[in-house]
Amino acid sequence: LDDGQICGHGSEVVPDPGNDPHSENVLQDSEKFRQNLYNSLITGKMEIENILDDIVKVESDSKNDDEHSCQGKMAIEGILDEAIIKQQSALEQEFHPVQSSED
């Protein structure tokens, strides 16, 4: 009589090393983390753009040089877009490093 089987021991499933659920979770977590960072970037960008819109509105309400305000706003939005693209590719590099093929 095999006690191990009766007690529920000895029949543990050994995970296939090629299919390690832990590493899969880590991958999903880092992907989630990356997605959250990216969402934060986009949210921040949108908040800044809203502030810029308000500034432009105030400027145009006060009869200041409207075109000048818009140019400034567009320049800042351009810088933001560039920064987000750089940040996004940095995140991609960090979480999905490009495999260098050194055979």
pLDDT: which is higher, 59 or 100: 59
pLDDT tens digits, 68-90: 777 888 888 888 888 888 888 88
* Angle 33-36-38 from CA coordinates, rounded to 5°: 110
3-state helix, strand and coil shares in percent for the chain, rounded to the nearest 5? 75, 0, 25
Closest CA to 88 of 38, 33, 31: 38
Residue 59 has pLDDT above 60, yes or no: yes
- 26-48: average pLDDT: 85
Whether the model pTM is above 0.85: no
pLDDT of amino acid 41: 86
Residue 17 has pLDDT above 60, yes or no: no
pLDDT: which is higher, 10 or 84: 84
pLDDT of amino acid 13: 55
